[in-house]
Chains A and B, each alone.
Chain A
């Protein structure tokens, strides 16, 4: 399975009874540790007005578009949970609406660093994760640095 397909499977699998968002967070980070880079963005779905959203999942060489409910419902809470995890693990200030951070997770060949950039606002919901060796220079200048403002996405029809 591609990383995109694994993410769709993760997001569409009902979580086990008693679980919380860490079930999704851990699953997503494990997939990201196995993938050079992945970007997930939530965009309005004109085929499911007025509140429907769909996910676009992009990895090197491919894009999976049109992932709808229930997968798209988990995305915003998951963005927030990941940001809290980053604050807990790295000591940075929790940034609810966007930012950058790095996490270390087990990879196939040992620990890897996951450089994360995200936005979680009404106008922009996106998560980009780039895998790097633990000793490599971070993709962003400083852990916890706010992301540059992203242009607002136009609402769907």
Chain B
């Protein structure tokens, strides 16, 4: 029997408070940033691959520091590390646009493109928060 491929380790850069909330509750496409509900929701959950490929849209650390600078009362920058089953990442890789994002280093989970599956599996995934 062929063994299942190992999970894919992904990094999401954000603030410490948000990382802990996402770790506990999963990414929330309905998440509204502080500033009121007149802003649109977050929509997608963006992560970087950690397999050595460059993240050509910016590293998770860069986004963590930028987010922490914009929201200084949220505990500073942090990385949420999550091990995502390969079959969920494959959902992205099977879409031409999501595959192009992946070739640029980004695993981007959107409604209809892996986000629902990620949310369903979230309680079972190995995760940790890394303050930076």
Q: Could you tell me which A residues sit within 8 Å of B by CB distance?
A: 14-15, 17-24, 44, 50-51, 53, 70, 73-74, 76-77, 80-81, 83-84, 94-97, 122-123, 152-156
Contacts and interface: CB of A to CB of B under 8 A. Distances in A.
Interface residues of B, number: 32
B111 to A, nearest CB: 5
Chain B interface SS verdict (over half): loop
Nearest to A153: B40
Interface string B56-74: 1110001100100010000
Interface of B: 29-30, 32-33, 35, 37-44, 46, 56-58, 62-63, 66, 70, 96-97, 99-101, 103-104, 106, 108, 110-111
List the 7 closest pairs (A to B, CB-CB), nearest first.
A80-B57, A20-B103, A14-B96, A20-B104, A21-B104, A15-B100, A155-B40
Chain A interface SS verdict (over half): loop
A17 B111 contact: no
B119 to A, nearest CB: 14
A17 B99 CA distance: 8
A152 B56 contact: no
